[in-house]
Amino acid sequence: MSDTIKYLLSEDQVPKVWYNILADLPEPLPPVIHPGTGQPIGPDDLAPLFPMALIGQEVSADREIEIPDPVRDVYRTWRPTPLHRARGLEKVLDTPAKIYYKYEGVSPAGSHKPNTAVAQAFYNKDSGVKRLSTETGAGQWGSALAFACAHFGLELDVFMVRVSFDQKPYRRAMMETFGARCVASPSEETQSGRAILAEHPDSAGSLGIAISEAVEVAAQSDDTKYALGSVLNHVLLHQTVVGQEAMLQMEMAGNWPDILVGCTGGGSNFSGLVCPFLGAKLRGGAGIRVVAVEPAACPSLTRGEYAYDFGDTSHLTPLVKMHTLGSTFVPPPFHAGGLRYHGMAPLVSHLKQLDLIEAKSYHQTECFAAGVQFARAEGIVPAPEANHAVKGAIDEALACKEAGIGRTILFNLCGHGHFDMQAYTDYFAGRLNDQSYAESELAMALSGLPSVAAE
Amino acid sequence: MSDTIKYLLSEDQVPKVWYNILADLPEPLPPVIHPGTGQPIGPDDLAPLFPMALIGQEVSADREIEIPDPVRDVYRTWRPTPLHRARGLEKVLDTPAKIYYKYEGVSPAGSHKPNTAVAQAFYNKDSGVKRLSTETGAGQWGSALAFACAHFGLELDVFMVRVSFDQKPYRRAMMETFGARCVASPSEETQSGRAILAEHPDSAGSLGIAISEAVEVAAQSDDTKYALGSVLNHVLLHQTVVGQEAMLQMEMAGNWPDILVGCTGGGSNFSGLVCPFLGAKLRGGAGIRVVAVEPAACPSLTRGEYAYDFGDTSHLTPLVKMHTLGSTFVPPPFHAGGLRYHGMAPLVSHLKQLDLIEAKSYHQTECFAAGVQFARAEGIVPAPEANHAVKGAIDEALACKEAGIGRTILFNLCGHGHFDMQAYTDYFAGRLNDQSYAESELAMALSGLPSVAAE
């Protein structure tokens, strides 16, 4: 028999803590600023939206935060996730590199999103909340939260961007199967939605509008809170179960990665994999290169400005310092909906500023080509977002081949593409749009950045 | 922490042999009959369609057949599959029963089908075959074989029933992602297809027509063979990896099933789970009840006649003795496409005749209700076919509750429903058809049974 292909941990190896890299960074994160006062915000400013336990995690400096038993119990229904040696892909590429991938697609929603959805649902339930509201684009996050709410007996309202609501009914069907209520946004249910509809009755919606609706519902109701699927510190924190498991699995494999690769939209699957490894490096461990891969059509890390900006289009959120294309920037349509965000997690932006990570961007057509190559070699059809990580890993493996060096590469295959097959159909039909990121649009968007007396 | 939720085996516990229950049965299978001569067929009759290794397995009396290393190597990319304790479902049902399920949805195609697809692709490649042809309905089998052919470097032509080709493009996209060529059937590529199109230019196609096209292509080409996804002995044999793993996992759990449940269409996922357990019972092991669950709209085991019949509508196959609704019976449209077969695997029919298994049937609406209950409790959205097994297991658990007895139930969750969300949408919209199986239609179909000088 050939060598081992996948590395499996037992249920009792599901991590017992989340790892907080802030404890190991040489510099703290820039503060979050209240747009009205220009001063750093405090916990009370966030209390209408989040339970206090999550606010505490958002600002915590503790290196380890214990995972509550009820959360670990749910994690164990699909975690630990497998780590695979990509022997098929290595063979096709004829590379001396060793390629490994952590596969988060085995979760109930098919991606890494339930890692934080379960934690957020638990803390909300635990603090007496009856209902959550959230937004979703293509539906990956909405279906993860729907699963988590079903488990803990919370109601859930999902504001789903109208164009996705109409065009991608199957993620919606999955949310409804898990018991969530799914509303097309803009809707008649909120003031924000009605205002948009009054002006644009045929509005296709946007993530920015959907966020406004979900936030409004939570802010105006005592028993309803808001949940976000990426960007925030506590969300990225919950994803560190991915990297912690991967460290154990790389030890099982008797290899340690020289290069880590992840795709970045809001930044959560990326930091989930890389932060535990980076923490080990910061505490004196082995050196490691870390590569963030983003879409060329929405290149916040590679082309954005590192500046204070709003997290949403309607400017309901506080100001955070991040790599941003401007909160009014609307990315061109491409299939990796999870990567269509104008900004980047402040933590990931901070890692970039500290030169702890690199970033590069690819057009979607070359990412789908990489995804198809991966599917034929490994038997898993990746999500369009994950294809960016696949492309990044393949390029690193080909660079190893050219240099004749057998480095070890680990990437996060953050989800499967079962609900994204229209994108593959469009790829095979040559219908994908590789619209370039327009300099003029960037300039316009950046000119809209707010003026803030930072730090 | 609570008790264990899932039982995982290591890669070296992937079974080394397939288990052949024919070696342990008190009576042999009735022979397969040539429709022209009325005499039992021999290996040479099958040689144009299958490689000799598979024909040998089709008629083997050996208890164990070694799994070739290259097949085990591919199995190890997703096998062993997990066995779950359904604690969430037990809680919702408030039953004293212990419910376990073997989950085959973690495979590349999302079902048990790759267990035989990989083996069939290997033996064909090994015998010098360049190309396979097959038929597929909704696409579950076609995508499994596409994955297997991608791995072994075989070309694949899939004749996909026209109505599914048009209405379910995402399974087709998956087949193409794995590199297969997918053709709407009836097609202009075969004599069978052209004949149908000449008479019915707008034909929606049928599985029977698609089989005729795939068989014709294989029969007329030296380097092309045919592959089938269920019904035949060698196909059922390959699925026994499921039950063998489940036996080890039930031992890990410290429990032995009193009741096994599986859904039956052609019979392969069902026998894959139950045959190893039944074999142990036949060799003097613990008693066990085995329940086959089929759709009320296509009830071959519960309402069909045990008689010699053709395996396809166009009467290109030999005659096999099985429970059949008649080869001309066209099941009404329902969503569990994998269960819409007029007959049943001869082996499963034989087990039923020997009183080793029971059979019952359900309408699809009650099966979807069970599937939604399962999804909310366990976080996995089952395939419509698998919902029949879920419904059967829930009913057994509720019977335990009524009787106050804590029996152990194990069922095969043979696949996920990610490509079947339209069915869930229709269920929530109250649009499912529970058309009854018409007695008149049965009578008509049965009257078409061929007259055979049996045995």
- Domain assignment present for residue B253? The answer is yes
CB-CB: which of B6, B73, B428 is closest to A1? B73
**Which pLDDT score, from 0 to 100, does residue A385 have?**
94
d(CA A327, CA A423): 26
The Cβ of residue B410 has, within 10 Å, a number of other Cβ atoms equal to 30
Contact A425 B169 (CB under 8 A): yes
Nearest Cα to Cα of residue B263 among B398, B179, B367, B163: B367
> What average pLDDT does this structure show over B392-418?
98
Angle at B191 between CA B186 and CA B193, to 5 degrees: 5
Q: Is pLDDT above 80 for B313?
A: no
Report the interhelical angle of B140-152 vs B169-177 (nearest 10°): 10
pLDDT score at B4 = 82
A167 Cβ under 8 Å from any chain B Cβ:
no
Is B174 inside a domain boundary? no
Range with the poorest average pLDDT among A337-341, B55-59, B438-442: B438-442
pLDDT bracket for residue B444 (50, 70, 90): low
| For residues A377-381, average pLDDT | 96
CATH number at residue B91: 3.40.50.1100
Q: Taking CA atoms, what residue in B is nearest to A380?
A: B108
Outline where DSSP puts E strands in A289-389: 289-295, 305-310, 319-324, 358-362
Q: Which two tokens stand for residue B118?
A: 């990989």
Query: Cβ of B179 and A376 within 8 Å?
Result: yes
Residue A53 located in a structural domain: no
B6 touches chain A (CB under 8 A): yes
Q: Which stretches within B283-437 are classed as H helix?
A: 300-303, 346-353, 364-378, 384-403, 421-428
Closest among B280, B233, B318 to B60, alpha carbons compared: B233
A441 close contact with B: CB closer than 8 A: no
In 3D space, the residue among A412, A438, A403, A279 whose CA is nearest the CA of residue A338 turns out to be A412
Whether residue B215 lies inside any domain: the answer is no
A1: confidence class by pLDDT, cuts 50, 70, 90 = very low
The overall average pLDDT reported for chain A is 93
Most confident of B33-37, B189-193, B199-203, B275-279: B275-279
* Closest residue of chain B to A372, computed from CA coordinates: B177
Cβ–Cβ contact A84 with B under 8 A = yes
State how far the Cα of B192 lies from the Cα of B319, in Å rounded to an integer.
20
For chain B, say whether A1 makes contact (Cβ under 8 Å). yes
**Alpha-carbon distances of B451 from A405, B323, B341, B342, B377, rounded to whole Å:** 70, 15, 21, 18, 50
Confidence of residue B109 (pLDDT cuts 50, 70, 90): very high
Would you tell me how many other CB atoms lie within 10 Å of the CB of residue B285?
Answer: 13
Pure H helices in B181-336? 191-199, 207-219, 233-238, 240-253, 268-282, 300-303
In a domain, A327, yes or no: yes
Instruction: Please state the length of chain A.
Output: 455
Shortest distance between the Cα of A5 and any Cα of chain B, in A, equals: 6
- Give me chain B's average pLDDT, please: 92
Helix, strand and coil content of chain B, in percent to the nearest 5, comes to 45, 15, 40
What average pLDDT does this structure show over B274-286?
A: 96
Helix A364-378 / helix B169-177 crossing angle, nearest 10 deg: 80
Q: How many CB atoms lie within 10 A of CB B333?
A: 11
Instruction: Tell me the mean pLDDT in the region B371-392.
Output: 97
Q: Mean of the pLDDT values across residues A356-375?
A: 97
The confidence band for B443, taking pLDDT boundaries of 50, 70 and 90, is low
Does B378 reside within a domain? yes
The pLDDT tens digits for A399-441 are: 999 999 999 999 999 999 999 999 999 999 999 888 767 654 6
Q: Work out how many domains chain A is built from and give that number.
A: 1
Q: Do B173 and A428 touch (CB under 8 A)?
A: yes
Query: Which pLDDT belongs to residue B454?
Result: 38
A273-284: per-residue pLDDT in tens? 999 999 999 999
Contact B379 A78 (CB under 8 A): yes
A-proximal residues of B, 406-435, CB under 8 Å: 416, 418-419, 421-422, 424-425, 428
Average pLDDT for residues B105-126, to the nearest whole number?
Answer: 97
Q: Which tops the pLDDT comparison, A384 or B443?
A: A384
**Angle value at C-alpha A115, between A109 and A116, nearest 5 degrees:** 110
Instruction: Please tell me which residue, B206 or A136, carries the higher pLDDT value.
Output: A136
- Alpha-carbon distance of B295 to B440, in angstroms, equals 18
Structure-block tokens of residue A267: 């930044």
Closest partner CB to B425 (pick from A110, A151, A173): A173
Return the pLDDT at A328. 76
Q: What is the CA B120 to chain-centroid distance, rounded?
A: 15
Q: Do A2 and B376 touch (CB under 8 A)?
A: no
What percent of chain B is predicted at pLDDT more than 90? 81
Q: What is the pLDDT of residue A71?
A: 98
> How much is the average pLDDT of A338-361?
94
pLDDT computed for residue B163 by the predictor: 84
Residues B261, B224: contact at Cβ < 8 Å? no
pLDDT-derived band at A455, boundaries 50, 70, 90: very low
Closest partner residue to B376 (CB to CB) among A88, A178, A425 is A178
Percentages of chain A per state (helix, strand, coil), in multiples of 5: 45, 15, 40
In contact, B98 and B85? CB cutoff 8 Å: yes
Which of A421, A422, A426, A431 is most worth mutating to test chain B (most B CB atoms within 10 A of its CB)?
A421
Higher pLDDT, B453 or A363: A363
CB atoms near residue A128 (< 10 Å): 9
Whole-structure pTM value: 0.94
The partner residues of A257 in beta bridges, in order of sequence, read: none
Contacts of A150 in chain B (CB under 8 A): 375-376, 379
CA proximity to B49, closest of B143, B157, B134: B134
Does position A157 have pLDDT exceeding 80, yes or no? yes
- Whether A403 is in a domain gets the answer yes
- More confident position, A206 or A70: A70
Measured in angstroms, the CA of B165 and the nearest CA of chain A are apart by: 13
Query: B interface mutation test: which of A107, A152, A381 has the most B CBs within 10 A?
Result: A381
The reply to whether residue B422 touches residue A372, judged by beta carbons under 8 angstroms, is no
Q: Is the pLDDT confidence value at B206 over 70?
A: yes
Q: Where do the DSSP E strands lie in B120-210?
A: 131-136, 155-161, 181-185
Can you name the residues that pair with B83 across neighbouring β-strands?
B7, B102
Given a contact cutoff of 8 angstroms between Cβ atoms, the answer to whether B267 and B232 are in contact is no
Chain B CB contacts of A381 under 8 Å are 174, 177
CA distance A173 to chain B (A): 6
If pLDDT is split at 50, 70 and 90, which confidence band does B351 have?
very high
Q: For the residues B409-432, what does the mean pLDDT come to?
A: 95
Q: Is residue B378's pLDDT more than 70?
A: yes
- Give the range among A152-161, A203-212, A256-265, B98-107 with minimum mean pLDDT: A203-212
The mean pLDDT value for A366-375 works out to: 98
Please give the average per-residue pLDDT across B376-398, as a whole number: 97
Chain B, nearest residue to A69 by Cα: B1
Counting residues of chain A whose pLDDT is more than 70, the rounded percentage is: 96
DSSP A62: -
Contact map slice: B 272-311 vs A, CB within 8 A: none
Region B229-247: mean pLDDT is: 97
Q: Name the minimum distance, in Å, from the CA of B327 to any CA of chain A.
A: 34
Q: Which residue of A has its CA nearest to B87?
A: A77
What's the rounded mean pLDDT across residues A234-249? 98
- Percent of chain B exceeding pLDDT 70 equals 96
B76/A173 touch (CB, cutoff 8 Å), yes or no: no
Distance CA A60, CA B453 (A): 81
| Span B256-273, average pLDDT | 97
CB contacts, 8 Å: A86 with chain B: none
Q: Does A451 touch chain B (CB under 8 A)?
A: no
How does pLDDT run across A171-189, given as a tens digit for each residue? 999 999 999 999 999 999 9
Place B282 in a pLDDT band, splitting at 50, 70 and 90.
very high
The first and second tokens of residue A361, run together, are: 């961007």
Q: Which residues contact A99 (CB under 8 A, 6 or more apart)?
A: A85, A86, A89, A90, A393, A397, A409, A410, A411
Q: Residue B354 sits in which domain range?
A: 5-14+68-110+234-447
Which A positions 328-357 lie with beta carbon below 8 A of chain B? none
Tally: H helices and E strands in chain B:
19, 15
Distance in angstroms (rounded) separating the CA atoms of residues A56 and A59: 6
Task: Calculate how close chain A gets to B167, using CA atoms only, in Å.
Answer: 13
Residue B246 is predicted with a pLDDT of 98
| Kind and range of the H or E run holding B226 | strand B224-226
Quick check: is B141 in a domain?
A: no
